[in-house]
Structures are given as structure tokens and as C-alpha cells.
Amino acid sequence: MQALFGAAALSEFKTSRLLATLQAAVPSILAIDARFLHLVESSPLTDGESETLNSLLRYGEGLHGTTESLQATALSLHRLVVPRKGTLSPWSSKATDILHNCGLEKVRRVERGIVYTLSLSAQLAPDELSRVDSLLHDRMTQSVLDGVQQAESLFQRAEPQ
């Protein structure tokens, strides 16, 4: 599985609104950044295929100004929000079709998640982390992971019984 970072996932307005909501629940959150993360399941790609894949997954606007405030503190927390395990998101279906139409048949599936980076003034307690997670995702359609390594489970296929 490859993990490719993309553009900002939220507008500045939505980022500000989410930050205010998070700070109301957990005051030790200082700043937030949200970036798309594309997770690609494929056979090994040639250099040309990798270049095509990268160019197709480079869309939208770049990062907005929150990164400076994120770098100012040593304490940070990363949360990866992805579609629920065992589901195939509509975005994934369409994006995989587009990649196949562009000659990238080796790509079995591409999925998109959002990496939230939170700048903190203090470590979060388990109940605070739970509150943060509940505000970052829709539990009916999404899951929160601790990191990219756990995203590998999105591509596991269960055998029919």
C-alpha cells in the first residue's frame, strides 16, 4: 500500500469552525490542520505509472496558513479518518475507475482519508481523545485510526462464508 499526501481537506473557514468546536470540548488544542491522504493498493508501478498516479492525485488547493502554528509546538497528535473497514466509498469507486481509464490497471483500489494534525498545549487524556475522535468523524460511515500503518486493514478482503 502506498500513502500519498494531497491538498488541504478543509477550507480556512471550515478549519476555523472545527477548531472552535474542538477547543470548546478540549481546551488544550491550539491549532488544527487537515490534509487528504490517498491510500493506494496496487501491484508495483513503473516510474511512468507512478508519475501519472501522482499527477492525478494532485488536485485542489494547497495548504493554508495553519502549518506555521502547528510547527510552533512540540506536542502534536495525528488522527486519520477513513471510510469504515469493509466498505468501498463512492469516492474510491469513481477514482479507481478514473485511474483504470488513464491506463493504471495495476491499481486495484484507491481510497481517500483525512489526516488531522492537532497542535496541543498538553497531552490528551483518554476521555479527551475520545471526544476529539467523535468530533472528527461520522461513526456511521468512517473510522478513526492512529496512523497510516492501520490503514492497511482497509484493503483486506474477507472470504465469503
Residue 60: its pLDDT value, please? 79
Instruction: Return the higher-pLDDT residue of 155 and 37.
Output: 37
Residue 86: its pLDDT value, please? 86
**Helix boundaries (H) for the chain:** 12-25, 47-56, 66-71, 90-101, 126-136
- The DSSP annotation for 132-146 comes to HHHHHS-TTTEEEES
- pLDDT tens digit sequence for 29-80: 999 999 999 999 999 999 999 999 999 998 877 644 444 444 545 699 999 9
In our burial notation (b when 16+ CB lie closer than 10 A, e otherwise), range 48-74 reads ebbebbeebbeeeeeeeebeeebeeee
CA separation for the pair 88, 146 (Å, rounded): 20
Q: 99 vs 41, 143, 154, CA distance in Å?
A: 12, 25, 19
Q: Is there a contact between 69 and 119 (Cβ–Cβ < 8 Å)?
A: yes
Residue 102: its pLDDT value, please? 95
Run of H or E including 104: none
- pLDDT tens digit sequence for 72-129: 456 999 999 999 988 889 999 999 999 999 999 999 999 999 999 999 999 999 999 9
Of 154, 160, 74, residue with least CA distance to 109: 154
Mean pLDDT computed over 14-20: 98
Run of H or E including 122: none
Range with the lowest mean pLDDT among 22-31, 54-63, 134-143? 54-63
Residue 116: its pLDDT value, please? 97
Torsion of CA 94, 96, 98, 102, to 10 degrees: 180
Residue 147: its pLDDT value, please? 87
CA separation for the pair 47, 102 (Å, rounded): 15
Q: Retrieve residue 16's grid coordinates.
A: 476555523
